[in-house]
Structure 1
Amino acid sequence: MPLAAASTASAATKLDNPYTGAKVYVNPDWSAKAAAEPGGSAVSNQPTFVWLDRIAAISGSSAARGLKAHLDAAVAQGANLVQLVIYDLPGRDCAALASNGELGATEIDKYKTQYIDPIAAILADPAYANLRIVNVIEPDSLPNLVTNAGGTAGSTDACATMKANGNYEAGVGYALHTLGALSNVYNYIDAAHHGWLGWDSNMTPAAQEFKKAATTGGATVNDVTGFIVNTANYSALTEPNFKVTDSVNGTTVRQSKWVDWNQYVDELSYAQALRTNLIGQGFNSNIGMLIDTSRNGWGGTARPTAAGPLTSVDDYVNGGRIDRRIHAGNWCNQSGAGLGERPTAAPATGIDAYVWAKPPGESDGASQAIANDQGKGFDRMCDPTYTGNGRNGNNLTGALANSPLAGDWFSAQFQQLLANAYPPVNGGGGTTDTTAPTAPTGLASSAKTATSVSLSWTASTDNVGVTGYDIYRGTTLVGSSTTASFTDTGLTASTAYSYTVKAKDAAGNVSAASAALSVTTSAGGTTDTTAPTAPTGLASSAKTATSVSLSWTASTDNVGVTGYDIYRGTTLAGSSTTTSFTDTGLTASTAYSYTVKAKDAAGNVSAASAALSVTTSASSGGTGAGCTATYTVSSDWGAGFNANVTVTNTGTTAISGWKVTWTFGGSQQITNLWNGTLAQSGQSVTVTNAGYNGAVAAGGNTSFGFGASNSGANAVPTLTCTAS
């Protein structure tokens, strides 16, 4: 449900989820800045957090209202929930500089008496007893103790000091205990993001560190309502085009450079797994998670719509990931980012809300040194020319240029976030769309087993386009789908379940629920052993010098076919949920033998299809001294498109660099390019290798990709490849 939904519920009784039925305070100061931007009025009514990032912020000034003034404004709005960020620990932000605070490493007493105590005194005023107060407790502090306080690549002397003197833990414990003593206060501890703590070596130590801080200085786990992830960060809520369990030619997605052996590729899966771990460490079983979605939408024309090519696991991940950062360790004013999911209560299992903790348009830090009296330093991670450090793989930062101090208004960033919002803002129009999609109809069970139910329904319609569906088992959200089908798993045999489905549109509106469908799972005790029929009619629908496109007739099965595995000889080349597949990264004028096997919902695998022999075409595409380049459009939506270019070393020795040039046939303009260095002048394009992919072995290949706006004819251009 939208967070702005009205409610008359009192905050006097502690709620399991404070966001349920809440009308959340809209900060008038942020709202006015957002509304003053072109198109900003479309989102200026969204609730954002108020950051209490120094002692002076409590009382306020002529330039910014203080805490009491915000609470008074909330009461005047008729709101019953206010969101605050508690952010002034001694030695704050020890692993960075942009948000260094005013208190020195040893000033814990000042933190308690001049910062936390005055906040608690204001919140305890009976005038605010009916306000639910949600606090995010000290972003980055405890995660820094886990990874940056000694013995790791990200260690700093400042973080080591805070680990040694215990003031991070003491301060967090004091804030939890003092603020949590108020019956209308809900504390959420900051828990970083999947690209920080998602590895096995980090997650459990982090959960243990959180437990230690939450039981320090009189605090108990009862002072903790939950945790928040992705605060002021850019990690994608979900990655729709690949899963951490996927593999390409025997190499798992976890081994890709982007994922780097992480167990998670997005924030939703990380938050839900972390919640389970935290409960295992002794936190209450009803804790909830918040996810900051203020800047992780990654929409716009550069947003991929499908997985990348199967030429390598890096191509597969980089071509399909919606998080377009250069490296997951980049965090400052990221280029290409967009507004994410609008603030929403109870959007998924274990998630109390999606929130906008970082107000969109407020800078992460300055791109160059700026004198100030707030203790905020110049962090090179905010400098777009900086070539990085160990925490971002020694890559460019991807930061926007000309950014102001952390927390100051950054108009250019806000405009980018608005343009790249996903779901899109206004449905692409000039006024806010409030028309919800039609409710899904025809909900039916297309297949079921003892432990799963497969559902299908008739697609909904909407004036700005349906972007997906949420599927509910009873009142619990069990998953989402971008198509009109879904399989719910992990069920109990011979049990009745009730399902409904809601549609979502591109402007963030949600339909009414479909008519409920009751489905009883099959009896347990027997296992389906009937394999699908073998695929037939395997044929080559298209081929080039480096790829073969295959198609076949669908198989049938008693519990339903779930997909197909495609083999090149005896090697698994890939999988498909449809009756077609394109195998890429092949060699010109070479014969390949293909077979296909079908899989069913019970896990049975069919016999192989009859083998098909296909010989790739003679070398095509641009040629040069020792390399060829092949250009493939992976998606085209009219106003823009994504393309991939494979560079193959055709010589007999390794090359150390390459350059690909072409001339567009229309007025296409590349807006985002990865795995290469771009130079475009008018229709002429030159792409040279990045520092890490210039070396290509004889017969080997690499690739780069890009997103572009589209104007005029979009025919595949003639490419020229030059090796060095």
Structure 2
Amino acid sequence: MRSLLRVGHVLTAVACAAGLAVVTPAGASTSPHWSPRLDNPYVGARPYVNPEWSARAAAEPGGAAVAGQPTGVWLDRIASVTGANGKMGLRAHLDEALRQGANLVQLALWNLPGRDCGWLSTNGELGFGELPRYKQEFVDPIASTLADPRYARLRIVAVVEPNSLPFLTTHVLPRPDATMSCEQVKAAGSYTEGIGYALARLGTIPNVYSYLDIGHHGRIGWDDNRKPTLELLAKAARSGGSRLANVHGFITNTGNYSALREEFIAKTVINGQHIRQTRWVDWNPFLDELSFAEFFRAEAVAAGFDPRVGVLVDTSRNGWGGPNRPTKPGYETTVDTYVDTSRIDRRARIHNWCNQTGTGLGERPVAAPRPNFDAYVWLKPPGESDGASIPLPIGDENFNRECDPDYTGRPDASPDPTGAWRNAPPAGQWHSAQFQELLRNAHPPVG
């Protein structure tokens, strides 16, 4: 049973690249013996430390304290599979994992046609009609590389197209954030077909564990968002030659800032008013990621997913520590005051997602932190920007107004600020100022 395996094993620390001892596992070069299939790939794992991220983290004041943490390797372009512009490709990362003596590598496959429905800060390279290229030039080379017997003893955790299916719930009619591009993508079925194809290809490789993204509680928690998202996940897992059994688990809060547990919002009624009536909660049945993920997992099992499916939580940027973190329940003058002075997540609105100020590193990566949870992970490498805060000289194709700290023109007419950093670089580039704040506001603290 999965629950018997979850006893809080801390992921084995891997030394940061600067001081890493060279360890080559016996027979790693050409071993044909596949790693045995595991219920939880993180238990007893020695996770891979990406030397490119580690070097950037270590170069920041105080960054050496976390530079040895494992983070996700994002494959977000066709060229990222082979490596380009001086960056490591997939095979280079796998070879480095063997050199480190690691036995677990975390990947994010993120290159669907019309990625994120053409969302401006993260729009990908493939057009809406380029599903054949996605399959042949992106998924197939990844699967072929991972199937190399040289890497048979590595446990490969593959998060397949994070953010994509939740987008097809929250950005289609009648939602206020609906876009024509999301409507077109959903009607075409390219996301479900592409994800299904990736799941099917990866499902033939014994040491690959595929996870699907379920958004986060502040996006998918409401019943009318959660249920259609689950339906899309099941449809994708049955598309492209795949089946539900190819899904090893789910991941929540990928690249987001939602609190793991709102420990100080203990009361549900203040002065006769339920906390769901508040501006912050807004009738959401969930306050945090743990409650949301546990409930979503149970619904997924009831919908036909494997009863042993596990959950990952991305805790890379949801620590919310520092001097402004509450230490006890808040004031009970009004229900809104109670929630706002009690909550750990200090965003102006739960939907804010771009380069949030005031955030901190969250729980360090750990295996089996609680029953049915495979691990807390840092899939999003902390320090990498979510998007540029101003239009770029080459045009506005990489500028999303949610990354503008002065933007107030949302479709839902919300007056709340975006909470985004000023002077932030384009998505994926190193954001030194935010990384330093993540260190300062880490919870648990760094050191």
Fold match, TM over 0.5?
Answer: yes
Could you tell me which residue of structure 1 aligns to residue 307 of structure 2?
285
Amino acid at match of 2:301: I
The residue type equivalent to 2:269 in the other structure is S
1:345/1:30 Cα in 2 relative to 1: closer, same or farther (>3 Å)? same
Aligned twin of 2:417: 396
Deviation at 1:390, TM superposition (A): 3.8
Counterpart residue identity of residue 4, structure 1 = T
Q: For the structure 1 residues 212 and 392, does the alpha-carbon distance in structure 2 shift closer, same or farther, using more than 3 Å as the test?
A: farther
Measure, in 2, the Cα distance between the counterparts of 1:420 and 1:100.
30
1:184 counterpart = 2:192: no
1:24 to 30, 40, 47: 47
**Contact between 1:5 and 1:22, CA under 8 Å: does it hold in 2?**
no
Which residue does the alignment assign to 1:74? 97
2:341 counterpart residue number: 319
- Partner residue of 1:421? 442
- Deviation string for 1:481-537 (max 9, x for gaps)? xxxxxxxxxxxxxxxxxxxxxxxxxxxxxxxxxxxxxxxxxxxxxxxxxxxxxxxxx
1:375-454 to 2 correspondences below 5 Å: 377-390=398-411, 393-426=414-447
1:118-159 Cα shifts (integer Å, max 9, x gaps): 111111111100001101111111111122122211211110
Determine the structure 2 residue equivalent to 1:194: 217
Match of 2:180? Answer: 157
Contact 2:13 2:68 in 1 (8 A): no
Q: In structure 2, how many angstroms separate the alpha carbons of the residues matched to 1:342 and 1:12?
A: 26
Tell me which amino acid in the other structure corresponds to 2:161: E
Tell me the residue number matched to 2:354.
Answer: 332
1:344 and 2:352 matched = no
Check the 8 A contact 1:189/1:227 in 2, yes or no. yes
2:11 paired with 1:3: yes
Contact 1:337–1:420 (CA under 8 A) maintained in structure 2: yes
Contact kept, 8 Å, 1:329 with 1:391, in 2: the verdict is no
Q: How does 1:122-521 map to 2 (within 5 A)?
A: 122-243=145-266, 246-371=268-393, 377-390=398-411, 393-426=414-447
Within 5 A, what are the aligned runs for 1:507-586?
Answer: none
CA–CA distance in 2 between the matches of 1:204 and 1:337?
Answer: 30
- 8 Å CA contact 2:167–2:182 kept in 1: the answer is yes
Pair 1:339–1:370, CA change in 2 (3 A): same
Higher RCO (CA < 8 A, seq sep 6+): 2
TM normalised by structure 2 equals: 0.92
Give the secondary-structure state (helix, strand or coil) at the position aligned to 1:57.
helix
2:317 and 2:361 in contact (8 A); partners too:
yes
Distance (Å, rounded) in 1 between the aligned partners of 2:409 and 2:336: 21
The alignment status of 1:93 with 2:116, answered yes or no, reads yes
Structure 1 residue 371: Cα displacement: 5.0
Letter in 2 for 1:44: A
* One-letter identity of the residue aligned with 2:38: L
Deviations 1:6-29 (A, max 9, x none): 9x9985222111101100000000
Gaps of 5+ in 1: 427-724
Task: From the superposition, tell whether residues 189 and 27 of structure 1 become closer, same or farther in structure 2 (CA, over 3 Å).
Answer: same
From 134, 140, 146, the equivalent of 1:117 is 140
Aligned residues: 423
For structure 2, the 5+ residue unaligned runs are: 1-8, 15-24, 27-32
- In the aligned structure 1, how far is the partner of 2:118 from the partner of 2:144? 31
Query: 3-state DSSP class of the match of 2:439?
Result: helix
CA contact (8 A) 1:101 1:376 kept: no
CA distance in 1, matches of 2:47, 2:364: 13
The one-character-per-residue Cα deviations of 1:525-581 (angstroms, maximum 9, x if unpaired) are xxxxxxxxxxxxxxxxxxxxxxxxxxxxxxxxxxxxxxxxxxxxxxxxxxxxxxxxx
Moved more, 86-95 or 277-286: 86-95
Instruction: Give me the whole-angstrom Cα distance separating, in 2, the residues matched to 1:339 and 1:157.
Output: 35
* Structure 2 Cα separation of the partners of residues 72 and 376 of structure 1: 35
Q: Is the 8 A contact 1:382 1:399 kept in 2?
A: yes
TM-score by length of 1: 0.57
Deviation at residue 186 of structure 1 after TM alignment: 0.4
Q: Secondary structure at the match of 2:117?
A: coil
Contact 2:357–2:421 at 8 Å: present in 1 too? yes
Give, in angstroms, the shift of residue 368 of structure 1.
1.1
Letter of the aligned partner of 1:331 in structure 2? W
Q: Does 1:34 align with 2:42?
A: no
User: Are 1:57 and 2:80 an aligned pair?
Assistant: yes
Q: Does the CA contact (< 8 Å) of 2:118 and 2:124 recur in 1?
A: no
Q: 1:392 to 1:339 in 2, by over 3 A?
A: farther
Deviation at 1:96, TM superposition (A): 2.8
Q: Quick one: structure 1 residues 287 and 210, their matched pair in 2 at CA, closer, same or farther if it must change by over 3 Å?
A: same
- The answer to whether the Cα contact below 8 Å between 1:190 and 1:227 also exists between their aligned partners in 2 is yes
Matching residue's letter, 1:358: K
Question: Partners of 1:321 and 1:390 in 2: how far apart?
Answer: 26
Partner Cα distance (1:333, 1:388) in 2: 18
Partner of 1:517: none
Q: For residues 685-721 of structure 1, what are the alpha-carbon distances to aligned partners after superposition, in whole Å with 9 as ceiling and x for unaligned?
A: xxxxxxxxxxxxxxxxxxxxxxxxxxxxxxxxxxxxx
The answer as to whether partners of 1:194 and 1:266 remain within 8 angstroms in 2 is yes
Percent of aligned pairs with the same amino acid: 55
Partners in 2 of 1:270 and 1:153 — Cα distance?
23
| Residue identity matched to 1:184 | N
Question: Would the aligned equivalents of 2:72 and 2:380 in 1 still touch at CA under 8 Å?
Answer: yes
CA deviations on 1:585-641 (whole Å, 9 max, x unpaired) are xxxxxxxxxxxxxxxxxxxxxxxxxxxxxxxxxxxxxxxxxxxxxxxxxxxxxxxxx
Question: For 1:251-279, what per-residue CA distance to the aligned partner results, in whole angstroms no more than 9, with x for missing partners?
Answer: 11111110000010100110111000000
Q: Which runs of 4+ in 1 moved over 6 A?
A: none
Counterparts of residues 635-714 of structure 1 (less than 5 Å): none
Three-state SS of the structure 1 residue aligned to 2:116 is coil
